[in-house]
């Protein structure tokens, strides 16, 4: 049955690329970039992935983001995900990314999107995986920060299919992002938003 399921053609409709960072690659990139990790071993990272709630997941998610500094890092992250997906016969992937997690650390927006896009292009050519890229705004940050990220994305419109909303939900209603979502729709972006993971029903648009 396992072989049968692996052989079926599949579409990955929801993957956060930063969350696909494997512990082994996390340590490789940390060594490449001279980043100190709060983990002593790959096994310790794997144990940390047994999280209890959204926030404990986000804590390790953002710790992993710290090793992503160069365009090649984002390429390696995305290419690794695509190779694992190809082994499971994934034919199409819709991939979320969080540019604010990187630009807030001084990594240029162009570095982030270029590394991911280059890997997606190679994945289409070499692995036969079609893809769409979706930019997510971090809901624990301000509406103004989201709008600034949206402006940074405009020169790369041809690489980004849509915008979304993710990160900590409690206390961060989607209403505060209405203006940036309206602006995104006006520019032709598709729009999605995480909702109902921890927030009340009112957070579902």
What would the mean pLDDT of 32-52 be, rounded to a whole number? 87
pLDDT at 20: 95
Sheet with 130-138: strands ordered across? 10-16, 90-97, 130-138, 162-166, 190-191
Angle at CA of residue 31, ends 70 and 23, nearest 5°: 90
Question: Using an 8 Å Cβ cutoff, are 131 and 93 in contact?
Answer: yes
pLDDT of residue 105: 96
**pLDDT average, residue stretch 79-91:** 98
CB 179 within 8 A of CB 137: no
Q: Which domains does the chain have, with CATH numbers?
A: 2-18+70-203 (3.20.20.140)
User: Above 80 in pLDDT, residue 178?
Assistant: yes
The strand ranges marked E within 39-89 are none
Mean per-residue pLDDT of the chain: 92
Q: Which residue has the higher pLDDT, 60 or 151?
A: 151
Residues with catalytic roles: 197
Q: What is the pLDDT of residue 205?
A: 64
pLDDT at 116: 99
Whole-structure pTM value: 0.91
If pLDDT is split at 50, 70 and 90, which confidence band does 51 have? confident
In percent, how much of the chain has pLDDT > 90? 71
Region 96-120 average pLDDT:
98
Query: What pLDDT is stored for residue 199 in this prediction?
Result: 66
Of residues 30, 27, 72, 61, the one with CA closest to residue 136? 61
Give the CA count within 13 Å in the CB-facing half-sphere of 69.
13
pLDDT at position 25 over 70: yes
């Amino acid at each position: 049955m396992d072989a049968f399921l692996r052989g079926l053609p599949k579409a990955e409709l929801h993957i956060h690329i930063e969350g696909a960072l494997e512990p082994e690659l996390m340590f490789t990139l940390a060594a490449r970039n001279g980043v100190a990790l709060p983990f002593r071993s790959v096994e310790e990272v794997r144990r940390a992935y047994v999280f209890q709630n959204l926030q404990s997941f986000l804590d390790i998610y953002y710790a992993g983001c710290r090793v992503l500094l160069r365009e090649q890092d984002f390429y390696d992250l995305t290419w690794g995900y695509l190779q694992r997906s190809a082994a499971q016969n994934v034919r199409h992937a819709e991939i979320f990314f969080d540019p604010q997690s990187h630009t807030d650390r001084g990594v240029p927006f162009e570095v982030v999107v270029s590394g991911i896009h280059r890997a997606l292009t190679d994945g289409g050519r070499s692995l036969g995986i079609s893809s769409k890229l979706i930019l997510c705004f971090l809901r624990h940050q301000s509406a103004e920060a989201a709008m600034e990220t949206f402006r940074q994305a405009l020169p790369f419109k041809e690489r980004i299919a849509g915008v979304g909303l993710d990160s900590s939900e409690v206390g961060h209603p989607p209403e505060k992002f209405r203006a940036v979502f309206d602006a995104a729709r006006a520019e032709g972006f598709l729009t999605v938003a995480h909702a109902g993971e921890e927030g009340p029903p009112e957070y579902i648009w």
